[in-house]
Amino acid sequence: MSTQITEKKDIRSIIASPAMQAQFSAALPKHLSPERFGRIAITALSRTPKLKECTQESLFKCLLDLSAIGLEPDGRHAHLIPYRDNRNNITECTLIIDYKGLVSLIRRSGDVAKIHSDIVCDNDDFEHSMGEVIRHTYDLKSPRGEVYAAYAQVTLKDGSTQAAILTKDEIEAIRKRSRAGSSGPWVTDWNEMAKKTAFRRLTKWLTLSPEISDVIAKADEHEIDHLLVRDVTPKPNILPDKNPFLVQSEPECTVEETQVEEDAQ
C-alpha cells in the first residue's frame, strides 16, 4: 500500500514540477496554460486510478504529445487509457483522441467553415459527384429505410468542399478489422460508428500539421478509433480487477472494451 501511495505522489509531483511545466509550456499553444494542463492531467489520474500503474515514460509521452497538439486529457477531447501488456508484464498509457478532439483540431486549422457527417439510407434523396455530396435530404416523418452509405464533408473558408463517402460494404470491412467490431458501439450504435469512420477517412485528405497527422496515423494503426463507447466515468464501486479502464492481454496484447464518451454529431 505504501509503495502505491509513493508512486502516485511521485507522478503527481513530476507533473507539477517546474521542469515538466516548462516542457508543457514550450509545446502548448498560447490559449492553454501549463498550470491548467497539469491540473487536468492530475485530475485524469484521479478519474482513472489504473493510470498510476502505467510506466511513467508512456504516461509522460502521452501528455507531451497532447500538449504538442494543444488538447487536454479532459475525458471529452482526449483520453489517457491504461493498457495491460501481459506478455511484457507492464501497463502502458495510450492516448485516444476523441471525435470531438479531432473536430476541434480541424476547426483550429482556420481553413474549415463547416463540418458535417451523416448516414445515407434507401429513401433519402442523395446525390454525389466526384467525391462531393451535392444534395442530401430526407423526410423526418417517414422511415428512411436501410443504411447503404455514410459520409463526412467539410466546407472550407474559400468555399470549396472535401468529402469522404464510404459504402456499407466498406464500413463493414473496417468494422471486421476492428478489435471491438463484434461488441460495444459497433453493435449498439452502428450508425454513429459509420459516421465517425467516414469522418476519420476524411481527415486523411485534409491539410493538417505534422503533429496532428502523426496522432491520427497512430490511432488508425492501432485501431484505437474503433474502441469508443459511451461512458468515460469510472464507476466508484468497481473492484480493481474488474476496472474496464484497464485493458488486458492474454498472452499477447489484445483489447477489450474501453469506455469513452462520444457525442453524436
Rounded to whole angstroms, the Cα distance separating 225 from 185 reads 11
Angle between helices 190-203 and 168-177 (to 10 degrees): 90
Is 248 within the bounds of a domain?
A: no
Residue in the block written with cell 476547426: 107
Grid-cell match 473492484, residue found: 239
Range of lowest pLDDT (165-169, 179-183, 189-193, 223-227): 223-227
- Look over the chain and give the mean of its residue pLDDT values, rounded to a whole number: 76
Question: Looking at the predicted structure, is the pLDDT value of residue 227 above 90?
Answer: no
pLDDT, tens only, 170-217: 999 998 987 667 766 788 889 988 998 998 899 888 877 776 677 666
Q: DSSP 3-state assignment of 147?
A: strand
pLDDT at 167: 97
| 122 and 71 co-located in one domain | no
The residue from 162, 182, 207 where one domain ends is 207
CA proximity to 263, closest of 189, 201, 206, 166: 189
How much is the pTM? 0.60
d(CA 103, CA 133): 19
Q: What is the pLDDT of residues 54-107, one digit of tens each?
A: 999 999 999 988 888 888 888 888 888 888 888 889 998 888 777 778 788 888
Q: Is residue 264 part of a domain?
A: no
- Do 198 and 236 share a structural domain? no
Of 101, 259, 262, 106, nearest to 194 (Cα)?
262
How many Cβ atoms from other residues are within 10 Å of residue 99's Cβ?
Answer: 23
